[in-house]
Amino acid sequence: MMARPSPNALPWLALSALVIVLDQLSKWWVLTSLPEYTPIPVIEGFWNWYRTYNTGAAFSFLADAGGWQKWFFTVLGVGISVLLGHWLSRTPRADWRTALPFALVIGGALGNIIDRQVHGHVVDFIQWYWKDYYWPAFNIADCAVVGGAIGIVLFGLFQGKTAAKRS
């Protein structure tokens, strides 16, 4: 069993909290300021504010599943957050290549869990498009999860190559 480093990376959870606050504040703004299903151009031909809702996961996966998916994605998000939090407790604080992506995923996952539990769906509002192709709407929590996942993969690959060069 790996011993906990001292000091460990748990203070990186402050970044998770910041992601949650920014995500929830942006969704409050959306819910109080933007009309539903009406594009509001930010950058013409590329970016709209567009208030919509998702009862599923990425790309509306399981959106029409009948309601059980709310609990499935809640349990999945909590489970992933607990696992990453545990790994943070075993990560040296200075290891930002591990701690930063973990903290982003935790904050994003918990931000969307709050939506599922409070509203019954996730509030999405960032819409990117080009000509007639529209990327599915997303939110700040989604950005944090995707950015964190990319960081986990990229830093994991680079870390593996660095370790292999040292051998």
Catalytic residue among 23, 64, 124, 132: 124
Question: 130, 45 in Cβ contact below 8 A?
Answer: yes
Q: Which two tokens stand for residue 160?
A: 């593996």
Rounded to the nearest 10 degrees, how much is the dihedral formed by the CA atoms of 119, 121, 122, 125? -90
Measured CA to CA, the distance from residue 135 to residue 49 in angstroms comes to 13
Catalytic residue among 64, 95, 115, 142: 142
Q: Is 115 a catalytic residue?
A: no
> Minimal CA–CA distance to 138: which of 124, 122, 148?
124
Question: 100, 88 in Cβ contact below 8 A?
Answer: no
Rounded to the nearest 10 degrees, how much is the dihedral formed by the CA atoms of 61, 63, 69, 71? 110
Q: Is 124 a catalytic residue?
A: yes
Measured CA to CA, the distance from residue 93 to residue 87 in angstroms comes to 11
> Minimal CA–CA distance to 152: which of 141, 164, 144?
144
Q: Could you list the active site residues? A: 124, 142
